[in-house]
Structures are given as C-alpha cells and as structure tokens.
Amino acid sequence: MTPTAESRKAPPAKDAPLAPGAIVSAATEPAQGGAPWIEEPVDYDAVLLCSFGGPNGQEDVIPFLRNVTGGRGIPDERLEEVAVHYRHYGGVSPINEQNLALKQALEQELARREIDLPVYWGNRNWGPYVHEALTEAHQHGAQKVLALATSAYSSYSSCRQYREDLADALEYTGLQGEVQIDKVRLFFDHPGFIEPFVDGLRDALDDLKREDPTLDLANDVEVLFTTHSVPTEDANRSGPDTRGFGEGGAYFAQHLAVSEVVVQDVLAQLRERGDGLEQLNWQLVFQSRSGPPTQPWLEPDINDVIETLPAEGRRAVIVVPVGFISDHMEVMWDLDNEAKDSAAAASLAFRRTPTPGVHPAFVSGLVDLILERVNGTPKSERPARTDLGPWYDVTRAGDCENVRLGFRPAVAGLQP
C-alpha cells in the first residue's frame, strides 16, 4: 500500500507496560519471565515481517528520509544529498519488492510444511507501517504474534529499534494488553543465513579464475566483507555488557565471526573438490556512514581499503555484503556504483556476491527460526555456526542502547 494522509509512522511510545507478574512487555506467557531462550511451545496466530521500508516514487523520497532521520532536525537540503541515490532509481527503493518477494517465499515455505501461520508485512519508515500490519493481523483474529525483523545482527537500528517499533505500534493502535508479541532471535550465525554467502564467494572466485586463469587466488585477490557502519559508541553498546565484547561490541564481533565461517566453508569446499587453495586474504570493512565527520564511526571504509589494494599486490577484489539480507539501496548504490567505481579506478577486477534474498536455504532457515518459537526448541538443539550463538529469544537488559536517545520503550526484551 502507498501511505495516505491517514497512513503515517506511529509516534514513539510513552510506555511499554508489563502484565501482572511479567518482566517482559507484551510477551506471551512463556517469555514473560525473561528467560534467555524460550523452551515452551507457543500457539502463535501470525508472523509479522518487519523491515526498514523505502519510498515508492519521487514524491515519497523526502518524506521517507524525514521519517528515517526523525528528531535530528536535519534540513531538507541535506536530505537531498542522500535523496539522489533514490532519485537515480526513479525514487523507488528496491527494498519494497524484495520484502514482498520474501513474504511470498515465507508463505510458500510455511504452506509446503503445512504450517498454518499467515504472514503480515510492516515497515519502520514507510507504508505499510508496522502498526498497519499489526492492525490487519488483529482484525483477522491474531492475539499472539511472532515478529521477524529483516536484520541479522545486534545494533540499535537492527535490533532494539525494531523492538521499539513494536512498542510504538501497540500504543498507537491501542492494542496494548490485547496483542502479545515475541520476536525471532537474531540469525547472524544461522546456517540458512550463512550458506548464501558461501555460495556467492565460491562462485565469485570461480568466475574470476575463469576470466583470468593467471590469477593466483591466494595472493592476487582480496575479499572484503562489508556491512553498514554505525557510530562507534552505539556499536560498543550492542550486545549484553556481561558478554565483554569490547571495542565494537557484539555488532563487530558477530560480523567478524560470520566472515570467518564463510571463508573457512569456502576453503573447505575448494579443498574437497581438489583446488588446493589453502588461504584467502580477507578483512571486514564498513560502508554507508552518514554521521558528522567529528563523530567516530566504525572503520575502515570500503572505498578507502580498495584504494590501498594495488600497493599490496592485489589484482581483484570480491565484495561480500555480509551485513545485508537483500539488494537494497545501500547495496545497489554504495557497492554496485561507488565501490565498483573505486575498484575500476584502482584497476582491480571487481565482483560483488549476492545477498541472501530468497535463497532457498535462507527462506527455509527463517521458517526454522519461526518453528523454534512455535515448538519451544531447546537451546541445545538450535543451530549456530559461531561460538557467539544461538542468540537470545528475549533480549537482555541494556542491550543495544542508542547513545543519543537512551532507552525508549520496547518489547520482546528485559527492561531497559
């Protein structure tokens, strides 16, 4: 749907009230006590697919960016600096069609497994909004909803802010106390999320070698695993402080761990088929920073790194967008345009691997994650490809604080 005058983003919630005896707001009964992993079945009525959202035309671009930057007082002339990315594509964000495709793929996989759970889709920053999807689900009788966010990692914008969106939606719709909402765990190290990146990196290496048989994959190629940069202070607050992640917090640690798994899986596959490749040059880099120059953000920037690669003897670069689940604007513009141009200026062969999108393993993995909560799967039986997981069903207290905003009301986690 396209937003109308009546269709607007829900304002920030003033409260996330607790049911009697509960310590987790709006949770189903098994999750109300705040256990890290919920090992009791829950009879959910619906799945709520939550995403970032994007404009549907040129007239939507600035209002959409106002939603994204709400409360920061950024003038429209500065928003236009970002708007050109969307205007290059007719003002239409690719994320909308990608979310529709993912919703349909989830529905098909649920139906294939004979699981009767409808899927509703709502966005943070443009229609259909989260509160509209929640209202629609409730109108169809849903009282116990399982939220699935299109973000795999710990950070304010990819974890806590979605939980705030759900609190906003409950308060705005007047459904506090009527609808219970749990959230699927972060899936950064789930096998279904990792497999598409393994496939993509292996295929990119094969493609480079086919194009240039003289290429020494062990020495001539640099693999750059890339994700969205975030303010360093916010990154440091991602993940429970009891885990002691250090600089960059869980956000950095999770991306680094996933990247290492992808490399090791690819090397294992190449060894199995007799290619003899024993090592790859790789590193974790960042992209798409948008803060003021005086504010520290996670580095190094992907374009800065690409510029240095020829001096290190590299002849090709493979970019793996490990922080993203689909080819939305930060992938299409920042990688397929800017990073590709940086590689061309450095005379490097360039490959960008696919995001998971609707890769069968990814879709199947998301349904597996849904069933973890439906069936109350014990922690010991949940797959995780890194030592960091499986991540928590109920977000721990103090996780993913926004330095500027503090702790706003949120659901599906311990307070604050």
pLDDT tens per residue across span 185-211: 999 999 999 999 999 999 999 999 999
* Answer CATH for 191-352 from 3.40.50.1400, 3.40.50.1820, 3.40.50.11890, 3.60.40.10: 3.40.50.1400
Q: Which residues of 38-52 are buried (b: 16+ CB within 10 A; e: fewer)?
A: bbeebebbbbbbbbb
Please give the Cα distance from 171 to 152 (Å, whole number): 26
d(Cα 146, Cα 68) in Å, to the nearest integer? 24
Taking 50 as the threshold, does the pLDDT of residue 224 lie above it? yes
Per-residue pLDDT at 2 exceeds 80? no
Nearest one of 219, 197, 207, 198 to 350, comparing CA atoms: 207
Mean pLDDT across 284-302: 94
pLDDT of residue 7: 74
- pLDDT, one tens digit per residue, over 339-395 is 999 999 999 999 999 999 999 999 999 999 999 999 999 999 999 999 999 999 999
Answer yes or no: is pLDDT of 5 > 50.
Answer: no
At residue 290 the predicted structure's pLDDT band, cuts being 50, 70 and 90, is: confident
Q: What pLDDT does residue 293 have?
A: 87
- Residue 155 near residue 52 (C-beta atoms within 8 A): no
Rounded distance between C-alpha atoms, residue 376 and residue 373, angstroms: 5
Q: What is the pLDDT of residues 113-143, one digit of tens each?
A: 999 999 999 999 999 999 999 999 999 999 9
Smallest Cα–Cα separation from 170: which of 211, 213, 129?
129
pLDDT on residue 41 = 98
Report the percent of the chain where pLDDT is more than 90: 96
Residues paired with residue 413 on neighbouring β-strands, in sequence order: 395
Q: Is 237 left (phi over 0), alpha (psi -120 to 50) or beta?
A: alpha
Residue 308 has pLDDT above 90, yes or no: yes
Residue type, 22: A
* 4 has a pLDDT exceeding 50: no
Report yes or no: 314 and 220 within 8 Å, Cβ to Cβ: yes
**Token digits for 201?**
């990196």
Q: Which fold has domain 29-54+93-186+359-381?
A: Rossmann fold (3.40.50)
> In this predicted structure, what is the pLDDT of residue 73?
81
Say yes or no: do domains 29-54+93-186+359-381 and 191-352 share a fold. yes
Confidence band for 291, pLDDT divided at 50, 70 and 90: confident
